[in-house]
Structures are given as C-alpha cells and as structure tokens.
A and B are shown apart, each in its own frame.
Chain A
C-alpha cells in the first residue's frame, strides 16, 4: 500500500496550495485539483485547512469533494486506467473490452488490484468517438482498442 503522509505534513502542504490559489474567483476546484495533483487524492486532513482559508464550513467542502467523480478520497493504484463506456464506444464493442480487461486484471470498475498496480475506472466520453473504443492510461490516450492493445496495456501496468 502507498504510504500516506502524516497529518501535520498534509496540513502544511495543503496550506501552501491554498495560499497560492485562494485569491482566484471561485478558487475551490483549482485548489482541489492542486491537492489531488500533490497527494494523488484529497486527504480528509486537507478539508479543515481549505474550509478555514475560504471561510466555508467543512460540510460545504466535503459536499464539493464528493460531488465530482474526479476527486478521490483515497490513493489510487500506480496506474489509472479509464475506459470509455459511452454510446459511441458501446457501438464498437466497449462492453467486451471492459469484460476482458476486468478479467485480465481481476478487478471491477472503481477497484484497485491487490498489488496496487492499477485502478480501473469507467469514463463517459474521452472525445475520441471517431476512434472507438477508447481508453486513457495515466493521461495517455489510446484509440481503436483491440485485443493486442488490451494485452499491451495489461503488460504495461504490471511491469
């Protein structure tokens, strides 16, 4: 499992991100993106720091964090594989791609492999609908997924 930083360290690193962004108009999403980029997730310990700096209640910050699919409450695997499940990809067999990947990785959507190598997530459209089915591995886009490309993805995340 990933080592999670100590709470005082989380607070200090959060405070520095908040300090840099709090004067933006509508700063909360940029701050949360900044925190997720820093820690890989949004630690619970960050929330009171943000709430205090933005003069919000912790409940309000919690509400925002949990509204958006992007923000994680705990660390993900070393790789993040997002598989498009929207209509255009469905028309090109994304259901079968998902089934094959789930079987090869031994996990379902929103799960991380036991060795912490990869987290599998559904995504509803990557804008690659002219080269379906598509996926995104650690921010890199992959189109026209076939068995060969699926096997390459599995090999890469296990390496």
Chain B
C-alpha cells in the first residue's frame, strides 16, 4: 500500500513552516525513491505542535510534531512511515492531551481529512445532514435547528432557528443566505480553520439553510486577510457544483441552491451584519439601523439569513444526529459545543472544541497551561477586541453566554487572549478606544467621536493630568457609547475599557513621581 503522509496547509501551520517541511519531505521521498501520497490536510488546532505531520499506518494515524525541515531526514531514517519512534513522535493524534479532551462536533473532520476530497468528506460522515434535509419540509428543518438550541456563534448568541423562521415566513421572490466569514476579532481563527480544513461542512450548512428558508442563493463574505481560506472555499464550491451538491437540483432534489465567495477589503466593522450587507452590495460598509431586520430586508432588500461560519457549520451535525444529541451538550441556555480559541501569551495555544460550561480558569490554566513566557497570568481578554478583560479573581466564571454577561463580559466568538504580568492595562484600554476610532464606520456620533475623545482622555490619565476627574469622564463617555451607539463596535468598546479600569485600577494610578537621587 502506498504510504500516506498528512502535512497541513492551514495558514497557522504554514506560518510555522509547513511548506518548507512539505518540500523537504518531497525531496527526501524522491531521493530515497519512495512512492508516497502527500495529503494537505487542515490543522487539528494544536498549534504548539504545528507543523504536525501524520502518517497513516496499519494501526491508525501516527503524529509527529512540531516538525522542522531539519528533522525530516532523521524521521525517514527512524522509519516514520510505519509510525516508528523519533524525538518528534506524538503517537496517535486522538491521544494527544490537548486533543483527547475535546468534544469535536463541528470540527470533527478538521485536520483529519483532505479538505477538498468529497469522498473523504462523505466517508467521515459528511452530507448525511443535507441528505436528510432535502427530504424534509422546510418548517421541520427550522424546527430541528431551533430545538437544538444553537445560538449565533459570531458573538451575539441569537437563536439561529428563530432567525431562519423569520426568513421562512417572509414571502419573497428571492431570498439569500449570507455567511459572515469576516472574522476580525483578535484571538479568533475558528472560521479560518474550518474554511481551510473542512470547507464542505460550511457549504453543506448553507445549503441546508437555503432549503429550510427558501433561499436559492448564498454568499460567503470572507475577510481579505484570509487569502488561503478564500482559495480553499472557491475550490470547494467548484467541486461541490460539479458533484451536484450545489446547483439547480441539490443532491438531485427539487431544491436549487448555489453560492459565491466574496472578499472583504480590510474593514473590521464589516463583521457587523448590516455593515457586511452594505459591503456585499458594493457600498461603504456603514452600519444600517435596525429595524428592518436583515431577515426581512437584508441583501438587496430581500429576506436574508446572515449567520456566522461556525453557526452554519454546526447545522449539518444537528440535522444528521438530531436536535437532542446536540442539545445534550452544554449548560443553561448555552447548548452544544463551542470552539474556544486559546491565543496570545499562552503555552498550549490553539482551538479547543468543548461543551459549554468549563470555567475560565480550567481553560487558561488547565488546557492552556499558563503563559508562554512562564510569567504569571495577569489578564485574559475574552471575546475579541470588544470583550472584557478578566482578572484571576473571576476565573471561576463558566463559559456560558449568560454567566459571562453577569460578570460584565461576553464570550463573543469565543476567542481568549492571555496576557502575562508585563501587560499595561491602561495601554490596553487606550488601544481599545484607538481601535474603535480607526475602525468606526462613522455613522453614529458616540462611536465616531467618542472613541477619539476616549483616546485623548486616557492619554491625560496616563500623563497624570487630573486622573480621578478624567477617569470619571471616561466612565461617563463609556456609558454614552454603550447606550448610544448604533452597533456593537461603539457599544461594546466600553467592555475592555471599563473592565480594565474596574479590575486593574492600579495601572490607572499616576506613576510615582521620580525622586531625585540625592
């Protein structure tokens, strides 16, 4: 049997040198005259082990990592094609601690299969959800998604089924499914990983959404910072179209659904759904007032389902295994699994899909293993640039939409950035305001002007100019932004700012006056 070698071409693995490893392996194969098949898989998400190379052996897959080009000759010498021991040997990928503890529903195939092989996709459970959906009345599909408890994974946590029902119930000649793949939050890369590692699951989820709501056209709006994801998704759409999964008769049924990949242009605010729709229409990415809801008047004024990548990619397994199966995972009103992205200054960085309910401490200290620098953890930002900074005192907070809201935070798109004790929280609060000022679409005053004034006032605090008075002013400004902004950019920027002030007050005190050394 021809040996099979899996070398990820996920962006994160490439950033750590996977292409050079692939080249070295090809050269070594040629030099030794070995006939082997190289599969470029996605990443399993254990980035501290990337580039992680796997070989298929008689006893299953065996992983090696992190592999450097200089390791390649030694791997061949040791006999890695049959899973032999080597200093980079990790054993069965399923038994690697970071991966073994996960519950992979949405990411079940990511890093396992050849992302562009439909065969491989189907052999690993793909298309089962869509096959069931084409035989169901649309209202039953919507009911099943509602029953599963799936909530918008982009950050807002709005029930996906409720959104779909509104679109289903709104009569129109044309409806749309728009996938929000404008994953701009720092510390998040789940959308990127699924698009690069298992693109068909997203296509399948969108086709199901189309059938459920009567939409025949879909768009995936991917940020331009993700060129590899754009390329992979475009190729996946071509493959799916040729195979009859997309087109006038989805899987041979009476349902039509086709889709296009569109690329953003570097505006963070376009991750906000109405701004994204304007951008997709070819306008400035300015936020729209709601109502009307996009579900009633969305893309080009037509009823539109707009969902995040992970929401849509979670639908196939819900259709395949049933609402109860998915709903059994999780806690409270947060049902199912969530791909937590552990990033920044952390030892075991990567994507960890698990049922809702782990505490922040279990995630950061347990799974993450503390900081990469080895210094104490000072703060953890949860939910991207608009998420709150949590101190160690709040590490008992369970990962759940409502529990985080109770602590004046949010889980957002489930990105976690870890900072060690060298972080200056006044600087981070200023950055939040500065980022908002750079990325504001300019439509509403609290966001456009407020963020600019926020930077200036925090600069005064940093310079020791009337710090108490100016901190009171920042607090007042944050209230105005929170309640007066049109969307989450201006409305949520107060989260990082106020959490930094409330939990890390020492960083906002004037620096002690330097005493002259006499």
Contacts and interface: CB of A to CB of B under 8 A. Distances in A.
Contact of B285 (A25, A67, A86): A67
Contacts of A126: 11, 225
Interface stretch (B74-82, B165-173, B185-193): B185-193
Interface string A59-93: 00001100111110000000000100011111110
B395 interface: no
A54 B11 CA distance: 36
B186 A92 contact: no
Contact of B187 (A25, A26, A129, A139): A129
A29 B187 contact: no
Interface string A28-52: 1110110000000000000000000
A69 B265 contact: yes
A68 B265 contact: yes
A142 B350 CA distance: 16
Given A67-B267, A91-B344, A124 B431 contact: no
Contacts of B372: 92
Interface stretch (B27-35, B330-338, B414-422): B414-422
Contacts of A67: 267, 284-286, 441
Interface residues of A, number: 43
Given A70-B265, A129-B344, A130-B341, A91 B420 contact: yes
Interface in A84-130: 86-92, 123-130
Nearest to B14: A141
A131 interface: yes
Interface of A: 24-30, 32-33, 54, 63-64, 67-71, 82, 86-92, 123-132, 134, 136, 139-144
A136 to B, nearest CB: 8
Contacts of B366: none
Nearest to A32: B265
Contact of A131 (B15, B183, B268, B286): B15
B408 interface: no
Interface of B: 11-12, 14-16, 45, 47-48, 50, 183-189, 191-192, 217, 224-228, 260, 262-268, 279-286, 299-300, 341-345, 349-351, 372, 381, 384-385, 415, 417-420, 423, 428, 431, 435, 438-439, 441
A127 B283 contact: no
Q: Which of B262, B266, B280 has the most CB of A within 10 A?
A: B266
Contact of A141 (B11, B341, B384): B11
Contact of B186 (A63, A86, A144): A86
B187 A88 contact: yes
Given A25-B300, A87-B186, A142-B15, A124 B439 contact: yes
A29 B219 CA distance: 14
A130 B12 contact: yes
Given A26-B280, A29-B262, A88-B344, A128 B189 contact: yes
23 contacts: A25-B281, A28-B282, A28-B283, A29-B262, A29-B282, A33-B263, A63-B284, A67-B284, A68-B266, A68-B267, A70-B266, A82-B225, A91-B420, A123-B225, A129-B188, A129-B349, A129-B415, A130-B45, A130-B47, A130-B343, A130-B351, A131-B16, A141-B14
Given A63-B284, A70-B266, A124-B268, A143 B12 contact: yes
Contact of A127 (B189, B300, B438): B189
Contacts of A127: 11-12, 183, 188-189, 191-192, 225-226
A9 to B, nearest CB: 24
Contacts of A90: 428, 431
Contact of B262 (A30, A63, A64): A30
Contacts of B343: 88, 129-130, 132
Contacts of B418: 91
Contact of B417 (A32, A88, A128, A131): A88
Contacts of B419: 91
Nearest to B300: A25
Contacts of B14: 140-141
A127 B341 CA distance: 10
A87 B265 contact: no
A141 B15 contact: yes
B344 A87 contact: yes
B343 to A, nearest CB: 4
A86 to B, nearest CB: 4
A88 B418 CA distance: 7
Contacts of B15: 128, 131, 134, 141-144
B346 to A, nearest CB: 8
Contacts of A134: 15
B390 to A, nearest CB: 13
B509 to A, nearest CB: 22
A89 B186 contact: yes
A64 B284 contact: yes
B345 A143 contact: no
Nearest to B193: A127
Contacts of B284: 63-64, 67
B345 A91 contact: yes
A129 B418 CA distance: 11
Q: Which of B48, B281, B441 has the most CB of A within 10 A?
A: B281
